Amino acid sequence: MTLKQLDRRGFLAACSRAGVASTLLPGVLYTLTSQAAQAQTEPGKPAEAPKITPELLDQAAVLAGITLTAEQKKLMLAGLGYQRDSYAEIRALKLPNSVAPAYVFNPLPPGARVETAKAAPRWSDASARSAPAQIEDLAFATVRELAELLRTRKVTSLALTQMYLARLKRYDSKLHFVISLTEERALAQAKAADAEIAAGNYRGPLHGIPWGAKDLLAVKGYPTTWGAGGFEQQHFDEDAVVVQRLDAAGAVLVAKFTLGALAMGDKWFGGRTRNPWNPNQGSSGSSAGSASAVAAGCVAFAIGSETLGSISSPSTRCGDTGLRPTFGFVPRTGAMALSWTMDKLGPICRAVEDCAIVFDAIHGPDGQDLATREAAFNWDAQYDWKRLRVGYFKSEFDPIKPFKAEGPKAGESAEEKKQREISNAEREAAHARRAYDQQYEAAAIDKLRSMGVTLIPVELPKLPYGSMTPLLTAEAAAAFDDLTISGKDKLLTEQGEEDWPNAFRIARFYPAVEYIQANRARTLAIRELSKLFEQVDVIVTPTFGEQLTATNLTGHPALILPNGLRGADAPRPPKIDDGNNDDIGGPQTPVSLTFLAGHFQDAKLCAFARAYQEATGFHKLHPKLD
């Protein structure tokens, strides 16, 4: 299976398997000796690590892909013993998830400059929106529209909050997007917002706006479950920084939303979050609840996170507008860590300017997340986007080649033939869905040209991005080391080959040397991809494919927005959504388009994406829930 054919979950698993087959050693000996010790120990008694022998070294060397002479093995024995003993002392520290490594990832190439001079934001005019006959008529209104109604006191925050809480309760049984309603907190915030606005103390366009948080953000007084079995009653004594900043902006937190267990997929300990356009499908993940609730008109906006597709994928599936910001633009303090060098927090909204409004409130250093950089986000709704140079990944918009089935192999058994035929059928169906969706991407190119955009063809630099992704699983395995060591990983909902428990175990065989080598390759990726943004300001691309992996590794920002609905003639989705394919399609479900930009050019990215969104209007389409 080629890189472009891999879905996100399968991609992680395949890359982890590639790591095991090619290069391993530091953790290998520990793992092998630990397994040997457990096998020789009576149940209930602590295991004693057996002696490291030349024979054990031979096993480790096979996994590591190296050859050792008898003399070399003899020289290594004592040092390896000391090294193995050091692991226990570190583990005895019981490092919590909140403790980051003593290094900070920097996505900027040499010589890059970041704009730090800040200007007051310039919002669009939303005065045309009138007060509704019924408050629920505002369920799908944009943040900008709601903000103006609140500022002019045509509606109250309390009325909006009660309306969204009622919708959350009404549709949760169908879509399964809520982990915790924060009703008491929300009603108090809404009443306070109304009193402040009435007194003339208007804080800005988020004042009184109801929102929801992905449940990897800590909120004092409520569980922060990370969507995972075994963490249902986990509490923290302080709000995440993003929550604090939205509180300061006057926003009203109404719910904590679902995420796939430990930020993978859309299955959590309470079930699977559903796609409002087709509840037979999951909403994709891992920002599953955030995307589903926004699309269903059950909250004005939500905060999600992305490590490798967790804003992009559910925003596509649910037809939302999602901003995955530049790495290091938003502090992650108080958020669950999955990968310290790849995690990013960002808004999921109904419109691009909504993303800009939310982002204006949450970005900037907090003094705790050392990866967060001082950089300006200067939003200007009147920005002349026609000044921007716009590129597109030309080859990604070329028609895909005809499907070619895998033929029989010599000596193929009946079972192998059956599996080959099943695989061919699945691949052919996926090919048909991809071919169908390309018409929407071609239409986007035509629309951009009709807007006067001169598209400059560019190509993604050819580098082994997939071989760098074991960085993610290695960091994730460290973040959740205790789950694997203690055996508590058995409490996680999913236990398959592609799920976290297995991925964490595999990652323990990924050596420190290869981790560093992959990061060096990542430096090349940053430099090469950044060169594209010396030629153009914005790049247009299909949402999925190799760029999704590449840009998450390099820390470049992305804006994902709806690009229409599939027609009644669309290929049918799989009968069962097993969560292993992010974009399974089907009639009357959304498609998306993605725009990319240079590091910390998120404001220009939003300005251009907003122009396309205003010209197409796809963000105004909403699912029918009743």
Q: Is residue 401 part of a domain?
A: no
Q: Above 50 in pLDDT, residue 18?
A: no
Do 270 and 366 reside in the same domain of the chain?
yes
Torsion, Cα 166 171 173 174, to 10 degrees, reads: 180
Is residue 124 included in any domain, yes or no?
Answer: no
CA–CA dist 427, 404 (Å, integer): 9
Is 505 found in the same domain as 567? no
Query: Which residues span the domain enclosing 74?
Result: 3-94+466-517
Confidence of residue 581 (pLDDT cuts 50, 70, 90): confident
* Residue 404: inside a domain: no
- 77-81, 229-233, 262-266, 452-456: least confident range: 77-81
Query: Three-state SS for 56?
Result: helix
Query: Would residue 74 show up in a list of annotated catalytic residues for this protein?
Result: no
Residue 498 belongs to some domain of the structure: yes
Q: Do residues 150 and 192 both lie within one domain?
A: yes
Give yes or no: residues 195 and 284 share one domain. Answer: yes
What local confidence, expressed as pLDDT, does residue 136 receive? 98
Question: pLDDT digit string (tens) for 501-511?
Answer: 999 998 988 88
348: helix, coil or strand?
A: strand
- 583: CB partners within 8 A, 6+ apart: 313, 316, 317, 433, 437, 543, 544
If you average pLDDT over residues 599-619, what whole number do you get? 98
CB 319 within 8 A of CB 623: yes
Same domain flag for 250 and 139: yes
Write down which residue in 517, 548, 583 finishes a domain. Answer: 517
Residues 471, 327 share a domain: no
Out of 298-307, 439-448, 575-584, least confident range: 575-584
CA-to-CA dists, residue 262 to 292, 313, 487, 492, angstroms: 18, 16, 16, 9
Instruction: Please check the confidence at residue 34 and state whether its pLDDT lies above 80.
Output: no
The count of other CB atoms within 10 Å of the CB of residue 431 is 18
Query: How is residue 415 written in tokens?
Result: 């079972």
Backbone angles phi, psi at 320, to 5 degrees: -95, 175
Residue 404 bears catalytic tag: no
Domain presence at residue 107: no
HEC per residue, 91-124: HCCCCCCCCCCCCCCCCCCCCCCCCCCCCCCECC
User: Are 365 and 234 found together in one domain?
Assistant: yes
Q: Return the CATH number at 616.
A: 3.90.1300.10
Residue 611 CB contacts under 8 Å (≥ 6 apart), including other chains: 385, 451
> What is the percent of the chain with per-residue pLDDT over 70, rounded to a whole number?
92
Residue 241 lies in a domain: yes
| The one-letter amino acid at 359 | F
Among 318, 257, 323, 255, which residue's Cα sits nearest to residue 284?
318
* Of 293, 303, 196, nearest in space to 241 by CA: 303
Question: 212 with 348, same domain?
Answer: yes
Q: Does 214 participate in catalysis according to the annotation?
A: yes
Q: 507 and 550, same structural domain?
A: no
Asked which of 84-93, 487-496, 576-585 is least confident by mean pLDDT, the reply is 576-585
For residue 393, what are the β-bridge partners?
458
Q: What is the pLDDT of residues 42-97, one digit of tens each?
A: 444 445 677 888 888 888 888 777 888 999 989 988 888 888 888 888 888 999 99
Spot the catalytic one: 310, 313, 315, 592: 310
Confidence at residue 468, expressed as pLDDT on a 0 to 100 scale? 97
Q: CA-to-CA distance for 244 and 438, rounded, in angstroms? A: 42
pLDDT digits 0-9 by tens, 233-265: 999 999 999 999 999 999 999 999 999 999 999
Lowest mean pLDDT among 48-62, 428-442, 476-490, 533-547: 48-62
105 found inside a domain: no
Total number of domains constituting the chain = 2
Q: Considering 16, 34, 157, 214, which one is annotated as catalytic?
A: 214
- The region of weakest confidence among 2-11, 246-255, 324-333 is 2-11
Say whether both 301 and 369 belong to one domain. yes
Does 477 share its domain with 584?
no
Q: Please report whether residue 406 resides in a domain.
A: no
Q: What is the mean pLDDT of the chain?
A: 92
CA distance 228 to 225: 6
Chain mean position to CA 451: 31
The model's confidence at residue 577, banded by pLDDT at 50, 70 and 90, is: confident
- Looking at 484, 517, 550, the residue that finishes a domain is 517
pTM confidence score: 0.92
- Whether residues 511 and 541 share a domain: the answer is no
Q: What is the mean pLDDT of residues 132-150?
A: 97
Q: How far apart are CA 186 and CA 180, in angstroms?
A: 12
8 Å CB contact between 429 and 575:
no
**In the predicted model, what is the mean pLDDT of residues 184-200?**
98
Question: Of these residues, 16, 124, 283, 286, which one is catalytic?
Answer: 286
Q: Is the peptide bond before 286 cis (omega within 30 degrees of 0)?
A: yes
Helix axes 54-64, 70-91, angle to 10 degrees: 80
